[in-house]
Chains A and B, each alone.
Chain A
Amino acid sequence: MTTLTDDTLPTTPRAMRDEMIVFVVMALLLASVPFTGVYPFFVMQALCFALLACAFNLLIGYGGLLSFGHAMFLGTAGYCSAHALKVWALPPELGILVGVAAAFVLSIVTGYISIRRQGIYFSMITLALSQLLYFIYLQAPFTHGEDGIQGIPQGHMFGIFDLSKPTVLYYVVLVGFLAGFLLIFRIINSPFGEVLKSIRENEQRAISLGYRTDQYKFLAFVLSGTLAGFAGALKVFVAQNASLTDVHWSMSGEVVLMTLVGGLGTIFGPVVGAFVIIAMQQYLAGFGQWVTVIQGSIFVICVLTFRRGVVGEIAHYFRRSL
């Protein structure tokens, strides 16, 4: 069986230095957005999805586990943060904490269940679990069903930063994104990340070397789910609502698409993919359901001819890991 990622690339100290350079360039570019004419709301939205896709990529690109239910972490954290901010009137930092904690608990429960099966079954189980949560949120009173939680107050982060100002909000979201991204980067390059990659390549051998692979996969699942929840909590401040679309299976599909377009198992791929897909949705918003058709076509084209994704192709061309 061929692997999901480009395994011809070396991981040497040199590559890590390249990655750090690209990271700094990306951070500077993103930090300069408010000084350009780019619509900040669009970039903030893309950043939230980029973090979500990076979290998803941690699981598929480095653990070889395709979760088709990552929307459940996004949506759960979103609902819990929104409820904490609006009903309990908590300050933003605690609101985020509530959302992340909810995603953490959820990922422990769902991870414990889904990690029991491999490959294709794992995907089906995560999809079914997220659909289960979708129906629960559809009926639960605190989510307000089809209406969602609307008009969420943005408040003052740590009592100082006024999140109702777009520029302040932008930098708060950017810092959140960069922190999450660096954490994932650190995880991937840690001994834990190396073991995870070995499980992806050959689980039997990892077991024979004495690694308890189930525990590694479980921890990767919890990390991925919690970080996805962090993305969901940040998104609440950008969108100022939490709705059923965030828990729907189509959202899980979009995350998969973003990562696939950018490059499975690449560090920067999910970020590029998220920007591409969100930009496409913005520009094609007037075309109704054709957006779905185009998304489907991108899936088909990527799988058939472009499996490395944008960043994966660039990395392959320059023989660097990005």
Chain B
Amino acid sequence: MQALYAQLLVGLINGSFYALLSLGLAVIFGMLNIINFAHGALYMMGAFAAYFLLNLGGINYWWALLLAPIIVGIFGMILERTMLKFLTGLDHLYGLLLTFGIALIVQGVFQNYFGSSGLPYAIPDQLRGGMNLGFMFLPIYRGWVVVFSLVVCLGTWYLIEKTQLGAYLRAATENPTLVRAFGINVPRMITLTYGLGVGLAALAGVLSAPINQVRPLMGADLIIVVFAVVVIGGMGSIMGSIITGFALGVIEGLTKYFYPEASNTVVFVLMVLVLLVKPTGLTGRAA
């Protein structure tokens, strides 16, 4: 049973990353109508930002948790201002191709300087060790990742669904021209939205750095799984992305325990099943 709980925890952690990443994808897709293929590369940049902050600047994990998403978010906003904004009005597919190119560039540059092996990032002192919960041993850092991600996800949901700013955002998603007519600077809002989505990816990168090490290709395979998560959940609903992300992580964890051979493929198989039964995805609208 110990092993089962341990795999469940691993599943919850992966689920946290799926949720944070698919949430960012959904937010970006809503505003920019672009599937951000660079999301995995930006997640990786978040982890590297934390690594550089620690090793070059002596800035600890807690500050990295704040600074890395801001740094990578600014990088994302520069990308949006210099490239993505020129895609307005073009077919969706060009957004996918452009961000795929950006992902190749970013990953290629990092691979040149850091190879493909992982760089270690130590767990901060405050979160070392573990707790015995009676039925399992809980490493504190892993528990922290799950709880913190959940809080961030719900915070983002609150921001978009319940605040004034979120209302503008949702309105601009529905009809940007009309919102502009009300005197709201929609292009700036688009840039900030992209920054927010990218920041969420970078945050996931910082959280994963002590668990998965810091590698140039850490986001390359992850983003494909997240795409499958997005197909399953649909991008219509913020809460849908969060729940689907966590749920698929848990299912993946359970698969690792009961049938480890299929743990790499279970999310994709589920995607196929969902498409056969309900082609629009679990929460999605037809698109």
Residues of A within 8 A of B (CB): 1-4, 60, 66, 68, 113-114, 116-121, 123-125, 127-129, 131-132, 135-136, 138-139, 249, 253, 256, 260, 288-293, 295-300, 302-304, 307
Contacts and interface: CB of A to CB of B under 8 A. Distances in A.
Given A113-B276, A139-B261, A304-B83, A123 B104 contact: no
Given A125-B231, A132-B269, A66 B108 contact: no
29 contacts: A1-B91, A4-B91, A117-B231, A117-B275, A118-B287, A119-B92, A120-B93, A120-B96, A121-B231, A123-B93, A123-B96, A124-B228, A124-B231, A125-B275, A128-B225, A128-B271, A129-B272, A132-B265, A249-B224, A253-B104, A289-B111, A293-B104, A296-B102, A296-B103, A296-B105, A299-B101, A300-B98, A302-B97, A307-B90
B182 to A, nearest CB: 25
Interface SS majority for chain A: helix
Contacts of A128: 224-225, 227-228, 231, 268, 271
A135 B89 contact: no
Contact size range, B = 35 or more
Contacts, number: 134
Given A119-B93, A300-B105, 9 more contacts: A66-B96, A121-B231, A128-B227, A138-B264, A253-B100, A296-B106, A299-B104, A300-B101, A304-B86
B279 interface: yes
Contacts of B96: 66, 68, 120, 123
Given A66-B96, A260-B97, A292-B104, A117 B279 contact: yes
B287 A292 contact: no
B251 to A, nearest CB: 15
Contacts of B225: 128, 131
Contact of A117 (B86, B87, B287): B287
B108 A116 contact: no
B268 A131 contact: yes
Given A125-B271, A131-B224, A132-B265, A292 B93 contact: no
Nearest to B221: A131
Contacts of B87: 303
